[in-house]
Amino acid sequence: MLASPQDYVEEAQRFREAGWTAYKIHPVCRPQEDIAICTAVKRAVGESMVLMLDSMWSYGYEDAVRVGRAIQDLNFYWYEDPLAEDDLYGYTKLKTQLHIPILATEHLPGGLYAYTEWIRQQGTDMLRGDVALKGGVTPLVKIAHLAEAFRMKCEIHHGGNSLNNVANLHVTMAIPNCEYFEVLQPDAAQKHGLLEDIEVDGRGLVHAPTRPGLGYDIDWELINRNTVAELR
Ligand SMILES: [Mg+2]
C-alpha cells in the first residue's frame, strides 16, 4: 500500500518505463479512496498498461458493487478479492451486478474440493492459488487443471519468498491457463535465500528455468551463516 494516489501513479509509470506491461493495485482498502487511486493511475497510463485491482477481501457487498462498477468503467482487467474469502453467496450476487472478470479463491478455505462449489455456483471467473497457500506443486497443478477443464484461467499468486516463487514459476510454465507471473512489491523484500533470483526482463517477461530440478541454487553460505540451531 502506498500513501497517496500520486504514489501509485509514479510507481505504475516507473514500471512502465522499465518495460512492464501490467500493474496491479493493492489499494488502501477504503472504497472512495480506492476509486480515486484507480482513476488516477488509469488517467496516467491510459491503455498502455493492463490494470488490475486487488481489494484484499476488504469490502462489504455494497461497496464491492460501487468499486467494481467504477473500475469496470475504467476498463480494468480483473477485480480481485473484493469480498471476504469465504463469501460465496456474496460473490455470486456480485457477479450478477458486474461484467468485469472477478478473481477470487486465493485464500479459499477447504482446499481442492472447495473449488468445485465456487465453479458450480459461478462465484468467480478465474481460480487462484500458489504453492505455499495450496500445499505444494501438486495441489496447485490440480487446481489449475480443474480450471482448465472448465476453460477457466488459474492465475497464480506470488509465493512470498524466492523458493516458492521459483516453484510457482514452474507451475506457471507447465499449464496453459495462467497469464501473469505476479511480482509483489517491493520486489527486493521478497527475494532471499537464492544465489540468483527470478528477474523480470525489459519486456516485462520472466523466463523458464533451464536447469534440472527447481533450477535455482539455495544460498547455503547465507543460511549457514544465519543458523542459530538445527532440529534433528
Ligand atoms: Mg491477492
Task: Tell me the per-residue pLDDT of 180-226, one tens digit each, with 9 for 90 and over.
Answer: 999 999 888 889 999 999 999 999 999 999 999 999 999 999 999 99
- Kindly state the cell numbers that stand for 2: 502506498
Note whether 1-104 and 109-232 share their fold: yes
Task: Tell me the per-residue pLDDT of 70-104, one tens digit each, with 9 for 90 and over.
Answer: 999 999 999 999 999 999 999 999 999 999 999 99
Residue 220 has φ and ψ, to the nearest 5°, of -65, -30
Q: 109-232: which CATH architecture?
A: Alpha-Beta Barrel (3.20)
**Centre of ligand 1 from the C-alpha of residue 94, in Å:** 18
Torsion of CA 7, 13, 19, 20, to 10 degrees: 50
pLDDT, average across residues 168-184: 97
Question: In the beta sheet, which residues pair with residue 39?
Answer: none
CA distance 47 to 49: 5
**Centre of ligand 1 from the C-alpha of residue 111, in Å:** 17
Amino acid residing at 178:
C
Q: Report the half-sphere exposure of 225 (CA within 13 A, side-chain side).
A: 5
What would the CATH number be for the domain defined by 1-104?
3.20.20.120
Task: Tell me the per-residue pLDDT of 22-68, one tens digit each, with 9 for 90 and over.
Answer: 999 999 999 999 999 999 999 999 999 999 999 999 999 999 999 99
**Centre of ligand 1 from the C-alpha of residue 106, in Å:** 6
- Kindly state the cell numbers that stand for 213: 530440478
**Centre of ligand 1 from the C-alpha of residue 185, in Å:** 12
The residue ranges of every structural domain in the chain are 1-104, 109-232
Max distance between CA atoms of the chain, in angstroms, equals: 57
**Centre of ligand 1 from the C-alpha of residue 156, in Å:** 10
pTM: 0.95
pLDDT band at 125 (very low <50, low <70, confident <90, very high): very high
**Centre of ligand 1 from the C-alpha of residue 232, in Å:** 36
In terms of phi and psi (left: phi > 0; alpha: psi -120 to 50; beta: otherwise), the region of 76 is: beta
Are residues 217 and 196 in contact, defined by beta-carbon separation less than 8 angstroms? yes
pLDDT, average across residues 112-136: 97
